[in-house]
Amino acid sequence: MKRPSMAIATAATATASALGATTWHIARNAAPPTFDDAWYLEVSFRLFSALKTGPLAFLHAYSEAFRIKAPLISLVPLPLYALFGMGERVAVWANLPLAALAAWAWSRAAAVWWRDHPRGRDAAALGGALAALLPLAYGLSRVFFVETLLSALLALWAWRCAAAKKEDRAEGVRLGVLLGLGLLAKVTFPLLAAGLAWPARERLKPHAKTLLLSGGAIAATWYAVNLPYVLGFAWSAGFGRIAKDYAGAGGVAAILAWLASILRNGLSWPLAAAMFACIATAAWARKSRLDGGTRAALWGLAPLLVFAAGVNPEPRLAAPLLPLIALLAARAAVDFDSPRARGTAAALLLGTALTVCIDQTFLAPRPRALDYNGAPSADIGWDRSALVDAVKSSGGLVAALSHESPRLNANNLSCLAASRSLPLSFISLGYAQNSVENALIRLKDKGATTLVLIEGIPNSELPDFLNRAASGITAAVASGRLRAEEYVRIAVSPGVTARVMRLKR
């Protein structure tokens, strides 16, 4: 049996190091969920509780899950709950095998793209390692977001598109399953997948009907009920009202700010510099035309143009595509004629990536941490448990929260209640609600039985656009316009108090 080359062995060690760092971080981190991750967790807990009730209850809960977001990520941790019980930190462990799968599948795609290159296997191993060592990739794998799952599915899609043969009838089913699961992971999966499918379009044409039918059947299990809602939300989050709440300047300035965020948070400045130095130097030294695999990887990056044109600058949206840059850098590193140059390029890439990973896993405090990164926190957050218990004892079933902050909000309170299988939910006054009248209407429409008035949170911790109606609701209670009776006061943190109010009709 042929022994792996030193390059492959080194890349495998680097990949294992990245996964080991994430394992340690997940085990040590005690930080509670915030907004979107708390919502994914809440739905995950509700689905598991429904599954324990019975198949019909589960199917009903699944068909109504989220409405505006695809639900697959919330299904992934269910086997872990069966083994270890429901818990906010339990679910995050589901990301670890997904991160390993993503790195492996990206390396398999690279191996097919560059199978005719004399050092194609080295490029594939190095590319898989760099894909695992992207700061945004391992950072997101340490919190409960959908991007780790999405990257794994996209990597598998890239591999199968690269390896597809016209005569292999099973390929349509394989790709269809990936398309269906990708849609159930995120509605934008076809956009991400399109660039990777385009170079293989001639080989994929014979499989198109099977691919679309099988993928559509899988996706229809949820989209048949929820398609209008999820499409409307996706447009709003990318280009509409929701995106604008997170947008800065427009035009060229916005695109440059987005690109800077991708380079800083997605790759890190040191790793971005190392990657582009390798790519530029190899391109200058070889002065050769692009091969088919390189063109395929570049086509895979094409959806980044859509994100650049969008209003929402969140780098997390582009995270599943960034491994393609890692693969291109790895391909460049093995392209030098000199073994010493190849070794230097690989050492530069892996050394820089590992140095950043060590910093962003073990050392970097929050002010210096990249997005979704930094040393693990031992802070378990504010006393959400006491607040949930107080609302439960008051007889509340739907509790409205006056203020929304990353440490305390309707999502992470509902998440905690769901982890205890409580029939209790928390709601906000409305996303970016700026009308007190509409907030009052929302309380009635949602059947709120309890109002939780939060006092003492510093303004610096309150996202302004999420709390525009808060003072008006507090004033409505003080004036008697909104009739409410105080049940109990809870100190959720030094200086921060929650007043649990029973609403009167």
Tens of pLDDT along 104-128? 999 999 999 999 998 989 999 999 9
Q: Do 211 and 62 share a structural domain?
A: yes
Give the model's pLDDT for residue 1. 44
For residues 111 and 121, the answer to whether their CB atoms sit within 8 Å is yes
CATH number at residue 397: 3.40.190
Task: Please indicate, yes or no, if residue 3 is contained in any of the structural domains.
Answer: no
Q: Do 197 and 111 share a structural domain?
A: yes
Give the model's pLDDT for residue 308. 86
Give the model's pLDDT for residue 4. 59
Q: Do 410 and 346 share a structural domain?
A: no
Task: Please indicate, yes or no, if residue 280 is contained in any of the structural domains.
Answer: yes
Give the model's pLDDT for residue 246. 56
pTM over 0.95: no
- Return the number of other C-beta atoms located less than 10 Å from residue 164's C-beta: 21
Give the model's pLDDT for residue 232. 79
DSSP reduced 3-state for 484: strand
Task: Please indicate, yes or no, if residue 16 is contained in any of the structural domains.
Answer: no
Domain end position, chosen among 363, 392, 424: 363
Whole-number Å distance between alpha carbons of 344 and 403:
53
Number of independent structural domains in the chain: 2
Give the model's pLDDT for residue 241. 61
Task: Please indicate, yes or no, if residue 432 is contained in any of the structural domains.
Answer: yes
Whole-number Å distance between alpha carbons of 382 and 385:
9
For residues 243 and 79, the answer to whether their CB atoms sit within 8 Å is no
Whole-number Å distance between alpha carbons of 400 and 428:
6
Task: Please indicate, yes or no, if residue 11 is contained in any of the structural domains.
Answer: no
Task: Please indicate, yes or no, if residue 5 is contained in any of the structural domains.
Answer: no
Look up the domain containing 461 and give its range.
Answer: 384-503
Q: Do 225 and 161 share a structural domain?
A: yes
Q: Which residues of the chain have pLDDT under 70?
A: 1-4, 235-250, 287-288
Q: Do 424 and 330 share a structural domain?
A: no
Give the model's pLDDT for residue 287. 63
Domain end position, chosen among 363, 397, 432: 363
Q: Do 266 and 408 share a structural domain?
A: no
Domain end position, chosen among 363, 393, 417: 363
